[in-house]
Structure 1
Amino acid sequence: MNIDEQRIREFAFQIWESEGKPAGQAERHWMMACKLAEAEASGEKQLTPPAKPRRISKPKTVPLTEVEQPALLKKPRTPRSTATKNPKP
């Protein structure tokens, strides 16, 4: 058994295990393993490092006027009383 065939067997076994060890899928696993081994041998397996994530700046907010603010954000008003506390004489 040459090194390539051993590597294909290893790949096929890993695929079989990762899929939950299903029965009757040996040929499909072998074909997938062959493709992986070919890619590994030809150097296509080299992965490029992931792109650096861009920083997203916070959107500039403009303060809303009192009328534009939702009701939950408005300051509560003091309750109106029907009777005055200090009646004028």
Structure 2
Amino acid sequence: MTQRTERIQQLAYQIWESEGRPSHQEHRHWEMATKLYEAEQQPGAAPAETPVAAPKKTRATKPKAATLAEQAVEKVKEAVKPKSAKSKVEKPPVEKLATEKKPRASRAKTPKV
């Protein structure tokens, strides 16, 4: 292998690693590495640093369950809160009528044949 090919291979490998080792990107990484190598070889150009991938964006996180529960409690308090002193009419609690349940009929067992 020539010195050029070895350097391009090193650069392509560094690019591949910096991007999190994605599959099926060899051609793109090789092209990027070739461009970096050519930039290194231009007279008066500073040596190229190792390419660094941009930091990953943080995902927006969901609010924690405790926060959601607190918000729900506040909404309920607002809904239940009386709007004025005159509207403090309390409703009697609703009582369920006790109804007798019928006894459950037993199933007749059939002999197995």
TM-score scaled by structure 2?
A: 0.39
Larger Rg: 2
> Relative contact order (alpha carbons < 8 A, sep ≥ 6): 1 or 2 greater?
1
